[in-house]
Structure 1
């Protein structure tokens, strides 16, 4: 009996030993798998991690890493040289164009918002169209004492301002609402119409219901909250009833057309000279030493300017796929490194794939955007979701462009969120809250669908929030169904909104 027990104990001991050996072998395999996966994905890994590999495999991976670094540098040089080639070609064509005499009455108008001008979108092998190249080109004219040696943040601010002025100078004034056709109405430092919305804590929303005047909401004749027409609505869509007070967006300058005549061409040419001087200074900027707020404001400003510059240089893309291709092609040289618009948005600013734009999200999943280790050090450390309301890719559904400062970037991003929500949401004639798809996608994960109207009401005025609460409450007890929100589809048509800088 004792012999059997000893034999069983020996068998158990041997099994435990075999299990331990298998576990050690599994750990080695897992470590080997991790090293190989990092190498394949081009992720950062230490040379000490290679010790688990055979010598020939270690040598091979080291050679692959060296080759990848070399190829990456060559790709950056190629992008830079291609960018310079385009600029040189455009400058030559601009000089040729300026030698021709233009009739004083010449005026060519580009309704970019219309599909008929999708021909402005360019394929990779095509150069800028004959007219667009006039604005993409920037003369190499020395500008002594003009905004030289600025701090990186001040430089990015001036670049956005200059590009904004270029767009406005090329814009057809007839495309703006009549109340905003005067330049003074945009540049004035006076306080905006209405007031900046106050954030209402969820616990206080129950007190808002005291605003109600009757037991039944009169959608068509509620003139205190809703507009029946004549008020500028930057995100007007079918069946949407808009607020009579949309806050700071009532002061935006809208650019959805481009108009060219001799006077505007000359004005744009002067602005582009200044713009070239500013962009050239980016080569001397080193964002590594900037603080988190400074990096955040710097890259947001640079992204918005780069997208606008890309539209002037290459034309307006026909689709989201062409826009993403343009974002990969358009790049600035910052501190000796090339940063494309796509890399700035999704690597430097760490923005998440836009689920409200499925084509772009799919392209991001299929194509990995790469930056060097030094470039990654220039990126922000943590993802800031409010950047969603600061980046504009020039579509009808994009938020407005404004200049962001390093000293107040967090507060300015919070204000950008409030401004966008205030201007973009509205009610339908069936008492359903209408919200843009971008905002709906932004709230996924931290706001339940049933609580979305309450969350949005926190960014509206007290009257608007009370009106929303009353509409949603009545809808729940009607035959219209319990779903209280409708989503406004994303609109990719060309359009820019520019907010004035001085707001209270």
Structure 2
């Protein structure tokens, strides 16, 4: 072998050795990177990915897809952690809500049963005197009371308080108001003299002179046959001195402060028990699938039940200010949302209040979005009962016949609350003036609207027509005299 060839062979061997060493070094570096990557992936599998973030930031040579995948995993882990905290918070709120609900039920029962074994206080000496002389009129009242109460009891004997009640909110609302009516009827103790005096706030027209004075006439009148009729709004007499027909209101049962005996609450244990169960079921109702008519009937019943329940809880308010306070205290849980009577009336059943109270607040928007009717029904004016002397009668409304029921309520309220005291003066209740925009543009058109709503055969329509014929168009507004709103407690119940 030549010397040159030997030299070349040695050079090639050295180069081969160097190449092999270089390849080994590269493989060692790749192995180190793979080991680091394996360690990072193992951390990701064994524990939270966010702990690997320092390692990720230090590894600039990691594949892009792996970095992207690990970043997504870190994001998902953060979302899972946030959701777990939210679930824990909701569980805590659910626990507290159940706790407060139990406390509320206990307080509610205590308020209804301050002393379960407490005997009713003795009635005043006046109620025990001359009982035999008044037995006839008392029996008449008792028959009316028992006929109404028996129908309520019969319905409640058939009432099935099952889970399915929450799937039928309208049936639940009807049963709720029926139960409260049954309680108030059991607390009802009619006066033995058969007469009640109007509250001093009611201003009525003298039929002898043209002066206005505080009316202290009895709220009952007797016809030629000796039958006793109720005159709930002191409008029964016409300007000729006769007694006109005020419609069905004349036979209603009147429950006032003087005839409501709270000491009889111990006799209502059955109804109170059912009331508590239905209040609990009301918390779980679902109103999403209800039609407009179903929602309308449901919320009218719930509104009236809310106020009746507040009377049992907090007692009867003695002033206008205390009644407004009670309206705020009158709260009820419907489908998990707690609302009060004012919220139901102004945020759900009536027009938006933005024109009078500024932009709608967050709570109003929430109620309208969750429970709003979509468009208001003006006739709720004749169905919402605040339990005051000037309120319309209390009834149970059904989704199947709500339109006709509201129409009857409107006509019957107008017949009883509107009066004609002279050929130039028509008494109009304050309630209509407060909601005049629902029915007319001004007082003149309101009077014409009242006339158009009354039955054609009724005497009130004839009397108003005589007034309209005697006056010119420009003086119609002067014919109207507003009957002040009286906030004293009273319920009118159809017999």
TM-score normalised to structure 2 length = 0.59
Aligned to 1:119: none
1:277-300 residue CA offsets vs partner (Å, 9 max, x unmatched): 222211221112111111110111
Does the 8 Å contact 1:152/1:287 carry over to 2? yes
1:418 partnered with 2:418:
no
Offset at 1:237?
6.5
Does the 8 Å contact 2:468/2:476 carry over to 1? no
Query: Secondary structure, in 3 states, of the residue corresponding to 1:173?
Result: coil
What count of residue pairs does the alignment treat as equivalent?
342
Structure 1 CA distance, aligned partners of 2:93 and 2:328?
13
Compared CA separation, residues 365 and 380, structure 1 to 2 (3 A): same
1:106 to 102, 105, 122: 122
Does the 8 Å contact 1:106/1:261 carry over to 2? no
Structure 2, unmatched stretches of 5+, are 1-88, 126-156, 197-206, 209-218, 223-228
Q: How does 1:346-495 map to 2 (within 5 A)?
A: 346-351=346-351, 368=361, 370=363, 373=366, 376-429=369-422, 431-444=424-437, 446-462=440-456, 463-476=459-472, 483-495=478-490
2:173 to 146, 156, 171: 156
Structure 1 CA distance, aligned partners of 2:323 and 2:261?
24
Query: Secondary structure, in 3 states, of the residue corresponding to 1:483?
Result: helix
Structure with max Cα Rg: 2
Structure 1 CA distance, aligned partners of 2:493 and 2:220?
25
Q: Which has the higher helix share?
A: 2
Does the 8 Å contact 1:176/1:255 carry over to 2? no
Structure 2 CA distance, aligned partners of 1:344 and 1:439?
20
1:166 partnered with 2:159:
no
Structure 2 CA distance, aligned partners of 1:330 and 1:80?
20
Structure 1 CA distance, aligned partners of 2:177 and 2:313?
16
Does the 8 Å contact 2:379/2:410 carry over to 1? yes
1:89 partnered with 2:103:
no
Does the 8 Å contact 2:348/2:367 carry over to 1? no
Compared CA separation, residues 75 and 303, structure 1 to 2 (3 A): farther
Aligned to 2:304: 304
Structure 2 CA distance, aligned partners of 1:89 and 1:108?
30
Structure 1, unmatched stretches of 5+, are 1-70, 110-142, 180-218, 221-226, 355-360
Compared CA separation, residues 252 and 86, structure 1 to 2 (3 A): same
Whose RCO is larger (CA < 8 A, sep 6+)? 1
Does the 8 Å contact 2:310/2:330 carry over to 1? yes
Structure 2 CA distance, aligned partners of 1:374 and 1:475?
47
Aligned to 2:76: none
Structure 1 CA distance, aligned partners of 2:310 and 2:358?
23
Aligned to 2:345: 345
Offset at 1:366?
10
Query: Secondary structure, in 3 states, of the residue corresponding to 2:261?
Result: strand
Aligned to 2:314: 314
1:287-327 residue CA offsets vs partner (Å, 9 max, x unmatched): 12111111110111011011010011012234444433333
Structure 2 CA distance, aligned partners of 1:471 and 1:345?
35
Does the 8 Å contact 1:243/1:426 carry over to 2? no
Compared CA separation, residues 347 and 93, structure 1 to 2 (3 A): closer
Query: Secondary structure, in 3 states, of the residue corresponding to 1:317?
Result: coil
Compared CA separation, residues 155 and 374, structure 1 to 2 (3 A): same
Does the 8 Å contact 1:160/1:302 carry over to 2? yes
1:194-248 residue CA offsets vs partner (Å, 9 max, x unmatched): xxxxxxxxxxxxxxxxxxxxxxxxx88xxxxxx9943421111799768621112
Structure 1 CA distance, aligned partners of 2:375 and 2:476?
41
Query: Secondary structure, in 3 states, of the residue corresponding to 2:482?
Result: strand
Aligned to 1:260: 261
Offset at 1:169?
1.1
Compared CA separation, residues 84 and 347, structure 1 to 2 (3 A): farther
Offset at 1:166?
0.9
Structure 1 CA distance, aligned partners of 2:248 and 2:94?
41
Structure 2 CA distance, aligned partners of 1:228 and 1:315?
26
Between 250-259 and 165-174, the greater mean CA deviation after superposition:
250-259
Offset at 1:398?
0.8
Offset at 1:77?
9.7
Offset at 1:331?
1.9
TM-score normalised to structure 1 length = 0.58
Structure 2 CA distance, aligned partners of 1:440 and 1:400?
18
Compared CA separation, residues 107 and 353, structure 1 to 2 (3 A): farther
Structure 2 CA distance, aligned partners of 1:175 and 1:254?
14
Structure 2 CA distance, aligned partners of 1:282 and 1:422?
35
